[in-house]
Structure 1
Amino acid sequence: MFDHVKFGVSDYAASKTFFLKALEPLGIAVVSEGPPAYGVELCRPEDKTSLCLFQTEERPAHLHLAFMAETRRQVEAFYHAALEAGGKDNGAPGLRPHYHANYYAAFVIGPDGHNIEVVCQGPEA
């Protein structure tokens, strides 16, 4: 559905570090970068959809960003990497049966208060 999602962050360096470390278990890396006002583009090398961050003084409303994981182990690795990168727990890895029987997700709050989720929607391998 999306080609890319781009949003402003209050501390470009902190947010870039957080997202790179937290999303590394999903294979996400920098694909292009300019000055902080332009920002950084993050995605998997084989993907066409990207996440872009840029420095801003504006204070947008908090976002909920959900990333797809192929395995539950990736969900767990994201959660631990995100906490190590300074994220705050907002829901440890686990099943969320109120969504559906195989909805396995973890949630953290990032540097700007955004709710970052990684979800695997398939059955356990």
Structure 2
Amino acid sequence: MLDHVFLSVADLPRAIAFYEKALLPLGIRHVLDYDGANGPAGHPDLKGFGRDGRVFFWLRPGRADGTAAHIGFVAHSIEEVDAFYAAAIAAGATDNGAPGARLHYDPRYYAAGVFDPDGYSLEAVFKSWQHPQA
């Protein structure tokens, strides 16, 4: 299990604005700004996003490499997946798979994918707790 992820972005203000809109349907909000000067030498400034009292997704200024990461966010319903996709596209993402079942991954898998402005692959995933009937 992961506790947190740092993502380097080329334009921090642009990335913050994008993620504030794209992640809102998943209940993930920009909740904390960390001043790197207060940490160990060389620690970057961070912009933290989280949900339910946990900050787990961090943006930092740096060299973006959209091919370096794919991030899947948990959605709590099909509707959240659909809303994430719509919000991300409206915020400037490009399509990487419209909302729908991804039965080749798992019979309970419903997801949508986008590329953020830096080219990172993002996905919202809902896995129902009901297994399909045999």
TM-score (norm 2): 0.83
**Cα drift, residue 59 of structure 1:** 4.0
SS at match of 2:113: strand
Alignment of 1:90 onto 2:91 = no
Distance change (3 Å), C-alpha of 1:50 and 1:90: same
Instruction: Provide the alpha-carbon RMSD of the alignment.
Output: 1.9
1:103 correspondence with 2:124: no
Q: Distance in 1 between matches of 2:15 and 2:54?
A: 22
**Candidates 79, 83, 87, aligned match of 1:77:** 83
- The reply to whether residue 62 of structure 1 matches residue 62 of structure 2 is no
Shift of 1:48: 2.7
Which amino acid is 1:43 matched to?
Answer: G
User: Which digits, 9 at most, give the CA deviation of each residue in 1:39-77, with x for residues without a partner?
Assistant: 200001x24351000111x24343100000110000000
CA distance in 2 between counterparts of 1:32 and 1:85 reads 21
SS in 1 for 2:5: strand
Q: CA deviation at 1:35?
A: 5.7
CA distance in 1, matches of 2:117, 2:47: 16
CA distance in 2, matches of 1:35, 1:81: 29
> Would the alpha carbon gap of residues 47 and 121 (structure 1) be closer, same or farther in structure 2, given more than 3 Å must change?
farther
Residue of structure 2 equivalent to 1:114: 120
CA contact (8 A) 2:70 2:122 kept: yes
Mapped partners of 1:90, 1:106: distance in 2: 8
Give the total of aligned pairs: 122
SS at match of 1:98: coil
Which residue number in structure 2 is paired with residue 39 of structure 1? 46
Which of these two proteins has the greater Rg computed from alpha carbons?
Answer: 2
Output the TM-score relative to the length of structure 1: 0.89
**CA apart distance, 1:3:** 1.7
Q: Which runs of 5+ in 1 are unaligned?
A: none
| 8 Å CA contact 1:83, 1:89 repeated in 2 | yes
Q: Distance in 2 between matches of 1:110 and 1:83?
A: 9
Percent identical across equivalent pairs? 39
